[in-house]
Amino acid sequence: MATINFTTNLPIGNKSPTPWQFNPTNFNGIPDEPGVYIVGVKIRVNDSINHKPKLPVEKFCPLYVGQGKLKSDLERHYYGKRTSSLNGSKELFDIDTDNAIALYKHIQYFEERYAVIRKQKKNVQRTNTECKLYEDLIDLDNRLIWHPNPHFFNYRFQGDVPSLILNNNNGHNFSIKKDLVQPQKQELRNRIIKTKDLIYLKFWHAFAFNGVCPITKQNINANISFNLIKTRNSIEADTKRSLESIRIFTYGDSCKPSNTFQIDLSAIKSDLVNITGNSFS
């Protein structure tokens, strides 16, 4: 089984006395080579290791796994360019929390339910299944605050969505009109804005490619051809499932895991959120 080593060009460790703040100049150190990436935020959270309520520690909390041209794709997620970008039109979970374990349980619940829906044909039955999910999310007070389907907002506001939704092609922006007067809508709008602000401010990433590691300055993944999209898809799926094995659930679909690649996250283990309490290899 081939091993895929992930790395990052961002500072490693939590020794800085000041909170982490992403600077877009960090994109300059990312190779624009084909690869697989993990993107999320580095925020102050309590996990299974740093569990004392008054002592949260900044940790990398992955939100999405993807593949493509590394620099271009990571910039797209940060700036919200095009569809399916982290800060553009993907699902949004309220990440303004210090409870990392609870956050990933919310993502897990949604993803496991929606994975079944993704496989269904778009028809009345699928719509009914989606609506039942949205209804359940409200009952469970799930932290999902945006989804690219008007039915999500219909269930939030009992069908009264015209003042909230402008144009579905505008991604998250259609959800943050300034003329929301109802407290419930204003509260959701504020949560959406704060989450997007946190993504800008606390953006963090790791990636795997065939090239020189920014940390060790040694070649990594030398025997893997990331030029092949089939290979990248397999690595993406195996990475997503590897994160799930340590209870870190990310959103978005991927192909079926190939179980061909062993994912090595040791280069970022000091920064990665720890949900299970076990040591990372």
Q: Could you tell me the pLDDT band of residue 254, with boundaries at 50, 70 and 90?
A: low
- Alpha carbons 238 and 44: distance in angstroms, whole number: 27
Q: What are the pLDDT digits (tens) for 204-229? A: 999 999 999 998 899 999 999 999 99
Residue among 195, 222, 200 nearest 211 (CA):
222
The answer to whether the CB of 61 falls within 8 A of the CB of 199 is no
Q: What integer pLDDT is reported at residue 44 of this predicted model?
A: 92
Q: How confident is the model at residue 127 (pLDDT cuts 50, 70, 90)?
A: confident
pLDDT in tens, 154-184: 777 765 554 444 344 455 555 545 445 567 7
3-state secondary structure at position 69: strand
pLDDT digits (tens, 9 = 90+) for 80-106: 866 667 877 788 899 999 999 999 999
pLDDT score of 184: 74
For residue 169, give every residue at least 6 positions away whose Cβ sits within 8 Å of its Cβ, in sequence order, or none: none
Beta strands in 115-176 (DSSP E): 144-146
The residue to which tokens 């920064």 are assigned: 271
Kindly report the average pLDDT of the chain as a whole number. Answer: 85
pLDDT (0 to 100) of residue 167: 40
